[in-house]
Amino acid sequence: MIITKQKPFEKIMEMTEPFGKLFVVGCGKCATVCQTGGENEVHGMVEKLSDKISGFTVVEEPCDLRLTRRDLKEHKETIAESDAVLVMNCGVGVQTIAEYTGKIALPALDTMFIGMTERIGRYYERCKACQDCILDETGGVCPIARCPKALLNGPCGGQVEGKCEVGEYKDDCAWVLIWKKLTEQDRLEEFTKFRPPRNHYTKILTTKLIS
Amino acid sequence: MRNKRPAYSDLMKEIREGKFVLTGELEPEKTTGLEEILVSARAMKPYVIAANVTDNPLAMAFMNSLVPSYVVQRDVGLETVYQMVIRDRNRLALLSDVLAAAHLGIKNILAISGDHTVLGDHKGALPVYDLDSAQFVYMLSKLIDEGVDLEGNEIHGKVPINVGIAANPNANPLEPEILKVERKTKIGADFIQTQTMFDIDLTKEFLKETERLNCPTLIGVFPLKSFGIADFFDKYIPGVSVPKDLLESMRKCKEEPDKEKRKMLYDEVNMEFFAPFIREIRKTTKAAGVHVMAVLYERILEPLVAETM
Ligand code: SF4
Ligand code: SF4
């Protein structure tokens, strides 16, 4: 899931200040689960900015252009008359809506990462979308997302009692976790093997996937 | 196991000859001057075979380490170990610096990860980590042994450099650390310099492992110039603790009001701890030597060498 966090309200005030009428768009998927841009949060925002609001809705999945088109159709005129859309989505949603409506789109949320939800309010980054998944070799622990140096041949000298030098030794060292998992699985050869430098060429060029 | 590359550096030659070697450490700082480094280099020259020149240690932005590595060799005639962290440079910049180092006659590179930028003095910097330190060793092996870069492009001229890596015998758990060292020795590390050690048992345990890997190992020692440094080390360098007795003796020295006497007391305490420590390593283990990180405390080298070598 894409994990989002609401911007501080003062920041939202500042951002929306130059605009008269605002149309607010929420997200029925990730931002609903994160409680950052679902029905409740959209209502909350509408209440707080009541004198500026022209209308609002929650799109089922704003990162899907088809659903955005479908769900925003009935609001077309209100949106056209608004000065800007305030989008309570991840960055993908904001751009889809900007593209579809042609309006100035204001992000009410900050997009944090691709993460796992433990429970509401506790999210952990788990994947950096590196386009070359090696979780099969690393005991199901991603070193790209979970080692702050993204080492492919860890651990570095910064682990102390299995904790990482980044973040004051509170978080687990991803490479110690990988070592533990591979030991459990009796696959230490996967740990010891050398992983050559990554080829970033394809990743840089692959910003779309078209079949 | 890969074939051993030739010993290009005096450090590597002495190690291969089976001598017990000493290396020192020089730390360029936030300055444009090299006077202090040169003073330190001259002071340590009679006692060490080579001196490491640190590369933005603790992620502090200091003077580039290649220039002092070169100037110390040129002006002092002391061989250097050019430390290179992979935190601040991508593979292009690493390659450029290695070729420049080869041109300048640098004979040793220590390939290390470096502390993360968030620990340093530019916490908001974007860390690079294009290669990791193992991949950097791999790149160095290609340059040195095959004369090509990572993409197989031919390098004109030779890169006669020996490659060192760092290791932490204090690491807990130790096994992943050992496996990592093993990985690097297979792809081209010539020698190891360890993190600071105070514990002889951990030191010996680690040395047994590196002996199995057949990789010459220099044990890191850090003579403590003052109580302040000892205390800082104990409190703020995670995973390393200064033995209680040593710390206590250092505290007592601090109380001596006379500056010269205090210095003598500090030196005595250091000698009492480190001379037997180094002797023990030398007599009872297969360590290749010790890496003495006596930064700005070069005066301890003379008695230390006299007592241990
Ligand atoms: S290796 Fe990590 S970053 Fe890459 S795809 Fe797999 S989980 Fe994502
Ligand atoms: S301590 Fe572990 S997780 Fe942290 S940077 Fe080093 S290898 Fe990565």
Q: What is the CATH number of the domain that holds B85?
A: 3.20.20.220
- Residue B244: inside a domain: no
For chain A, the structural domain boundaries read: 2-112, 130-210
- Residue B302: inside a domain: yes
Rounded mean pLDDT, B170-196: 97
Which residues of B make CB contacts under 8 Å with A?
87, 91, 112-113, 115-116, 118-119, 127, 129-135, 138-139, 150, 166-168, 171-173, 175-177, 179-180, 182-184, 186-187, 195, 238-239
**B239 pLDDT tier (thresholds 50, 70, 90):** confident
Rounded mean pLDDT, A25-39: 97
- Residue B222: inside a domain: yes
Helix axis angle, B175-187 to A174-184, nearest 10°: 90
| B1 has pLDDT over 50 | no
- Residue B268: inside a domain: no
Residues 6 or more apart whose Cβ sits within 8 Å of residue B169: B177, B194, B195, B197, B202, B203, B205, B206, B207, B219
**B3 pLDDT tier (thresholds 50, 70, 90):** low
| B2 has pLDDT over 80 | no
Average pLDDT, chain B: 96
Domain count, chain B: 1
How far is residue B302 CA from its own chain's centroid? 19
Q: Does any ligand 2 atom lie closer than 6 A to the CB of residue A178?
A: no
Phi, psi dihedral angles at B291 (to 5 degrees): -105, 110
Q: How far apart are alpha carbons B234 and B230 in whole angstroms?
A: 6
- Domain range for residue B60? 10-229+276-308
Rounded mean pLDDT, A35-49: 98
- Residue B170: inside a domain: yes
| B212 has pLDDT over 50 | yes
Rounded mean pLDDT, B145-174: 97
Ligand 2 nearest-atom number relative to CA A155: 7
- Up-side HSE of residue A7: CA atoms within 13 Å toward CB? 21
**Nearest residue to B166 (alpha-carbon basis) of B66, B57, B253:** B57
Looking at residue B220, what is its pLDDT? 98
Q: What is the DSSP string of A55-92?
A: EEEEES-TTSHHHHHHHHGGGHHHHHHSSEEEE-S-HH
Residue nearest atom 7 in ligand 2 by C-alpha distance: A155
Task: Tell me the per-residue pLDDT of B33-89, one tens digit each, with 9 for 90 and over.
Answer: 999 999 999 999 999 999 999 999 999 999 999 999 999 999 999 999 999 999 999
**B238 pLDDT tier (thresholds 50, 70, 90):** confident
Tell me which residues have their CB closer than 6 angstroms to ligand 1: A 127-130, 133-135, 142, 144-145
**What's the angle, vertex CA B42, arms to CA B40 and CA B45, rounded to 5?**
105
Asked if A91 reaches chain B (Cβ–Cβ under 8 Å), the answer is no
Task: Tell me the per-residue pLDDT of B258-287, one tens digit each, with 9 for 90 and over.
Answer: 999 999 999 999 999 999 999 999 999 999
Residue nearest atom 2 in ligand 2 by C-alpha distance: A173
- Residue B120: inside a domain: yes
A2-112 CATH choice from 3.10.20.30, 3.30.930.10, 1.10.10.10, 3.40.50.2300: 3.40.50.2300
Candidates A126, A132, A141, A144: which one to mutate for ligand 1, based on the most atoms within 8 Å of Cβ?
A144
- Residue B256: inside a domain: no
- Check CB contact under 8 Å for B195 and A197: no
Task: Tell me the per-residue pLDDT of A55-85, one tens digit each, with 9 for 90 and over.
Answer: 999 999 999 999 999 999 999 999 999 999 9
